[in-house]
Structures are given as structure tokens and as C-alpha cells.
Structure 1
Amino acid sequence: MNDFPPYASRELVAERLPKIFPEGTPNRTYCVRELSASTVFAALYIGAVEETGVYLGPIHVYRMTKEQAAKPEDEERRAYAANILKKNGRVPGTRWYADNTREPIRDETLRDGLVAIGAVLRREDLPTTSSRPRYALKTEFAALFDPDLDGEALEQEIVAFQKKHLSKSALARVSIMLSGAAGHACGVLVSFPSGETRQLAPGPSSIISQAVIEVFAPAFLDRPAVIWLSESGNKIVMRDDKIANAIGLKIDAATNLPDLILADLGPAEPLIVFVEVVATDGAITPRRQDAIFALTDGAGFKRSQITFLTAYHDRESAGFKKTVAQLAWDSFAWFVSEPNGIVILRSSEAKPNRLIDLIAR
């Protein structure tokens, strides 16, 4: 484990939460009450902060004791984080809460409060039935509880956090992201442009695939069609040989095809969109691009008819952070949580385009 965040008492956390989440904040009560202060304190105490690999579970909160909370040493904090997860894990002292406080911590303070507001991250790669810890404070949020940060400097940091995370657009983005990640325990039902529906296996990749077909395709293509859709394990969910043959694309299942192949049948010369869905890995890289061009070149397609898209859940997802540096030039990136925007990675063999020429009018 890396160095812990500076030790902050529960009293300090409780004092700052109402300043961070002013009146008018959605579900503000869940974000500023004592149970919230206890939850944030426990996360800071065990070092459950974004990108540390350490996660908080409700058990870290409801089994905290008054005596344990008063021990600021790193070794004490590290031992508590690990030992409390063991079977019958306990620490001596006066408990803050009973075990039945688990649900209010999970459902109100975290799910409907701090996670919904974008202050806490929740792992989405764990089954909903898993008891493993899954929550971590966002780095910018955790930094607001540094005891050495006070006065005008603290006020400036709080204002910066509020502008970024509590604006209408920021809250809308979090809402879209959470609604897409929630549920789907029985699978993901996808509606195709043709009117057909298919059931995909539950999981984050299926949620992204669903959004590409139902949201991206109608928004960015004139007459969208799905030619190919597969799931992990190379399971073919949908294959439309009729459309493929009509536009001259030979689909060979033995070829290393991407997750999705879309076609825009609106232009005189159809546009074929090769899509990789990234929950954790597998973006459109230059090598992947070259392999697909070899397929389409051989079929006689102009390269102007071929484009590439990498689809992610969110810009802050682990998959995007892991693969963004690998993305190929002359491809696109799209995010489920911000469906109206698109990232263009544009190269130029000649001199670079001026910014004024790249700005959409």
C-alpha cells in the first residue's frame, strides 16, 4: 500500500462536508450527516482513494471503534484495513455502529449520496453479490480533508471541486453512468436498427455494446445497420450476411474481428465502422487498424469508406485510462456517459491543420 492520506479526524470531516455540499445538492442529507462523516473518515483512514487499489466496504465503517479511530499511525491503519475483513474481524473498543447499519451506509450514504454526486467511485467489475470492498474516494474529494489545507486555500479548493462535480452537466454525466452500470443482472436486451432484439450476457461490455447500437448509431449514422456483434469468448450474437454481401464485405468468423461492425447505408458509398468495446482492455490500436485495413483492402473497399471507433463507459473508467495512449490516429473514441460528444484522433501527412480550420462552425 502506498502512503496514506493525511490523518483527518471524523470531527474535521463532519465540519467540512456541509461546506463541500451546499444547500441544493441532490440528496444532501445523505452526504453531510454523521454517517457520511464516518464513511469518509473510514475511507481516508484505510487509504481507499482513487487509483491506490484500496477499496472501502461498509464493514470498515460499522466496525470502527472510538479507540481505533484515535490511532493515526500508518501501521495501525494498515492493520485495521486488512484485519477487519477477516472472518469475525473485530477491534477492541466502543463500536460506532451496529452491524445492521450496513444497508444505510451502502444504499443511502454511498449509492444515493456520495457515489451519485461523483465524490466516490464504485467498482463495476465485481458481481453485485460480492462482499468484497468496492468504494474509493475520488482524489480531488479526498484532498479536501487534508488538515493542513485551511482558510482561503481550502475555500478555493472546495469551489474548484464544486464547479467540476456539482454542475448540472457533471451531475447528469454521473447519473447516466450509474444508470448504465446498475442492474442488468439477468442480461442486457439490445434493440437493433432492424427492429430485432437480442439478449447479451450481463456485464459492463454488454452495456457499452447496447449503448453503441441504441444511442451512438442513430446519433452519428444516417441509416445505421449492425453487421456483426460478438461477446467475450468469441460468441457470435448477431451476424447479418445479407447486408454484408450487399455492400461487398465478406465476414469470416475465423478472422480476428472486432466486437462490433456497423454500417451507414445512407451515403452513396456505405461507410463501415469497426468498433471495439472497452470495459478493461482492447482498444483500436495502430496494429488493430492495420489488420482490419488488410481485410477491407482485400475486399476492394476504399479507405475513405472505413472508420474506427473505440467505445468506453466513461472518461474516468479504468479501461480508458489504461488504453488512451494506445488509440490509433484517424479513429474515434466515444463515451456512454457523454453520448453527444465524440473524440477525433486526426493525423495529417502534410503540415498540421490550423486550429481555426478544425473548429466546427
Structure 2
Amino acid sequence: MSDLPPYVTRDLVAERLPLIFPEGTPNRTYCVRELAASTVFAMLYIGAVEGQGRYLGPVHVYRMTEEQAAEGDTAARLDYASAVFKKKYVPTGSRWYADNTREPIRDETLREGLVAIGAVFARTDLPTTSGLPRYALKPDFAALFDPAHDGEALEAAIGAFQQKHLSKSALARVSIVRAGAAAGASGVLVTFPNGETRQLAPGPSSIITQAVIEVFAREFLQDSAVLWLSESGNKVVARDDKLAAAIGLKIEADKNLPDIILADLGPDEPLIVFVEVVATDGAVTARRQKALFALTDEAGFARGQIAFLTAYQDRESAGFRKTVSGLAWGSFAWFVSEPDKIVILRDGAASPARLADLLHAGADDGL
């Protein structure tokens, strides 16, 4: 079996991976980073494609060198496929990675990334402790790196792959993220619950802000109102002092207020929701939560009437990965790309519960 996929460079693989796995794809980082490009390149290089009888092990990736990768003839590629397993094999040139890269290649790039998403096949006839190679590209995924495919033909092939291998929820996330990016190119028009509109500056923060007001408020609040809205470069876009005063909240711009303040007027006691919008930074941290509680304590609100929300574009976004470790307990996180779901950072200090209780509570609430 000497048939090999057409030779391609790692640069071409790196260029196409983000097109195949767009923003919103689950575990996207594992599928598009340099290590993923190196892994896919190595599989193409040795011909590890399902049905061909050749498989990749992490060793094929971390023993690859610049010099070896440049040798594109069939003999060199097949020789490398088998030679890397020999104990005395010494690769020529500068290796891409050290031996300790084995785990992230196997666990992140392959198992949690490309295998989980349906781009790579993993043999199931080998014991988990076996050192034999077990991974191969799915044929339709391998075909996306054929250098002869370009332009509309490549786009069509990528679209067909996504429809086949990405789940419905993943495709929905991708569509929402794409739509948001397009909508934010020339400014964002936000429609408030009372029908008023405001034009926000272009940018990812405005896209998230729009979704919080138009989608989150409708999904999670009973009778919503916007008390405060600010954006970068314009501290106050909108404020409703009359409504705020009616429920006992005094809004002062110099108090370093959050990006959005929502009110839910449906409950007997109004609920005040402080929202931080995160494109890159600025989540509801414990310090931020404490400062905002000081404002509402002074205004006479019970803490049970106050909620804190950090809003992101997607769980794969850089802003979420950067700030998730600092999110305050007792707050919520919400994602534009998954609008009907919410993350609860439950603070169990006052009322601890067993996991079974939390699970049953979530089931009762339809979570």
C-alpha cells in the first residue's frame, strides 16, 4: 500500500484548519493550533488515512523535523512512517517538539479535539496501554487538504464536511458566532424591551451587549427593563433614572458601574442584574461583586434581589478562557452562541447540598 495523499506543507494545513473549524466549534483551540497542524500534517505525510492500513502515533509528530518535512517524495515519507519506531532512529535536522509533547498530542489534539469532532478515526482493537499507532484521518477530512482544491470547490467540500461531522448544536453555535461577527462590522443597533433603540459602535463587545438585551433578558427575565447601558469610549449610552428611582436605585456614573444594569420587574421584589460584557477582559470577579454589593446595600436592597452576570460570545472565546478562573461565586455566566443555557457558579457556603440534590433541582428546573 504505497498510495499516499498529495504532499502538502504544514503551512497549508495551518491555513485551512481555521476554515474547517470556525469560531464556535467545540474544543476549537485543540483543532486549529500549531500542534493540530503538525499532527494533521504528519498523518497526511505518512498516509495515515482510514482504510489505508497506516496509522499515526504521537511519535510521528514529535520526532518530525524541518528537514524531514521538506522531503516530499513517496520513499522518504514511507521510510519515515516506519523508521520512527526504531530505538536507534535519530531524525535528521531540527525536531519540531520534545518527547514530552506526547500527552498534549494524544489527549488534547487527538482525543478531545480531532477524534471527538469526527475528523480522525481511532482504532478500538488495541488495548489502551498499547504503544502501537492507532490514529488515521477520516477520508473526507483528509481530502480537504488536497492542494488541487481551492476557491468555491474547497468551500463546498468544507461545508459538506461540517454538515456531516459537526453536531446540530455545534452548527448552531457556529452560525450564531458568524452572524454576530457580520452584524458587528458596521455598528450594532440594539432594541430595548420598551421598543427604544440605540446605535452602538462596531465591535465584539457591542454584539454581546445586543444579545444580552435582546436575547438574554427575554429568555431569563420575566418583565425586563434596561436601567443602564455603557460602552467603551462612551460611558453612558442610555440610563433610565426615573425607573431606577422608582425601584430605589440611585445610578451614579462616577461609581464605576458595570456595562449593563437590567431590572426584572416581574417578581414581587424587583431583581437587579449587573452585567459585565467580556470580549477580552472585565468579568464579574469577587472584588467587583463586593463593590457592587456595597452600592445596593446602601440603597437598601436585599442581596437576594441582586444578580451578577458575565456575558461572553462563546465558550471557546479567548475572553472566557482568560477570565473564567476569576469569576465570582454566586454569579452567572452566559454565552451568546448558546442562548438558552446558563452557567451557575453556586456558592454553597450558606446552604451546602449533595450532588444528587443539585442534579434533581436542575432536572426540576429543566436544566
Query: Counterpart of 2:116?
Result: 160
1:291 aligns with 2:291: yes
CA contact (8 A) 1:191 1:198 kept: yes
Partner of 1:137: 32
Distance apart, 1:160 and its partner CA = 2.2
Q: Residue 114 of structure 1: CA displacement?
A: 4.9
- Any unmatched runs of 5+ in structure 1? 1-10, 16-36, 49-55, 57-104, 123-135
State the 1:351 CA deviation. 6.4
CA distance in 1, matches of 2:311, 2:22: 23
| Superposed CA offset, 1:189-230 (max 9, x none) | 000000001100000000000000000000000001000000
1:170 corresponds to: 170
2:314 aligned partner: 314
Counterpart of 1:146 (choices 19, 33, 42) is: 42
Distance 1:323 1:120, change over 3 A: closer
Please list every run of 5 or more consecutive structure 2 residues that lacks an aligned counterpart in the other structure: 49-53, 58-109, 120-161
CA distance in 1, matches of 2:279, 2:308: 17
Could you report, residue by residue, the CA deviation over 1:45-102 in whole angstroms, capped at 9, with x for unpaired residues? xxx5xxxxxxx6xxxxxxxxxxxxxxxxxxxxxxxxxxxxxxxxxxxxxxxxxxxxxx
Q: Say if 1:149 and 1:280 are closer, same or farther in 2 by CA, change over 3 A.
A: farther
The 3 A distance-change label for structure 1 pair 162 and 291 is: same
Higher alpha-carbon deviation: 258-267 or 184-193: 184-193
1:340 and 1:256 map into 2 onto residues whose CA distance is 30
> Which residue in 2 is equivalent to 1:179?
179
Match of 1:92 in 2: none
Match of 1:227 in 2: 227
Measured in 2, the distance between the counterparts of 1:255 and 1:278 equals: 20
What amino acid is aligned across from residue 268 of structure 1 in structure 2?
Answer: D
Query: 1:233: how far off?
Result: 2.7
Identity, in percent, stands at 61
**2:11 is matched by which residue type in structure 1?**
A
Aligned in 2, Cα 1:274/1:185: closer, same or farther, shift over 3 Å?
same
Name the counterpart of 1:115: 22
Query: Does the 8 Å contact 1:204/1:279 carry over to 2?
Result: yes
Give the superposition deviation at 1:348. 1.5
Give the Cα separation in 2 of the matches to 1:116 and 1:279.
14
Kept in 1, the 8 Å contact 2:226–2:240? The answer is: yes
Measured in 2, the distance between the counterparts of 1:153 and 1:167 equals: 26
Equivalent AA in structure 1 for residue 198 of structure 2: R
Which residue of the partner structure matches residue 208 of structure 1?
208
Q: Which structure has the larger Rg over C-alpha atoms? A: 2
- Deviations, residues 322-360 of structure 1 (Å, cap 9, x unaligned): 100110000000000111110000112246311121121
Decide whether the 8 Å contact of 1:188 with 1:199 is kept in 2.
Answer: yes
Give the distance between the partners of 2:294 and 2:274, measured in 1 at CA: 13
Give me the TM-score of the superposition, normalised by structure 2.
0.62
3-state SS, counterpart of residue 250 of structure 1: coil
Query: Which residue identity lines up with residue 190 of structure 1 in the other structure?
Result: V
Distance 1:351 1:241, change over 3 A: closer
* Counterpart position of 2:237: 237
Q: CA RMSD in A?
A: 3.2
> Could you tell me whether the CA contact under 8 Å between 1:117 and 1:166 is conserved in 2?
no
Taking the aligned partners of 2:231 and 2:203, their CA distance within structure 1 comes to: 10
Q: Determine which of 1, 4, 11 is the counterpart of 1:42.
A: 11
Determine if contact 1:310/1:333 at 8 Å carries over to the other structure: yes
Is 2:323 aligned against 1:323? yes
Are the equivalent residues in 2 in contact too, given 1:119–1:141 (CA < 8 A)? no
Q: Counterpart amino acid of 2:201?
A: A
SS in 1 for 2:356: helix
Q: Which residue of 2 aligns with 1:21?
A: none
Q: Deviations over 1:138-170 (max 9, x none)?
A: 46853344347944668x855422289611211
Shift of 1:172: 1.4
- Are 2:215 and 2:339, in contact at CA under 8 Å, matched by a contact in 1? yes
The answer (yes or no) to whether the contact 1:114–1:120 under 8 Å persists in 2 is: no
Relative to 1, partners in 2 of residues 1:352 and 1:251: Cα closer, same or farther, differing over 3 Å?
A: same
* Gap change, CA 1:351 and 1:253, over 3 Å in 2: closer
SS at match of 2:253: coil
AA paired with 1:319?
G
> For residues 242 and 119 of structure 1, what CA distance do their matches in structure 2 show?
44
**Equivalent-residue separation in structure 2 for 1:345 and 1:181 (angstroms):** 28
Contact 1:227-1:261 at 8 Å conserved across structures? yes
2:267 aligned residue: 267
TM-score, scaled to structure 1: 0.63
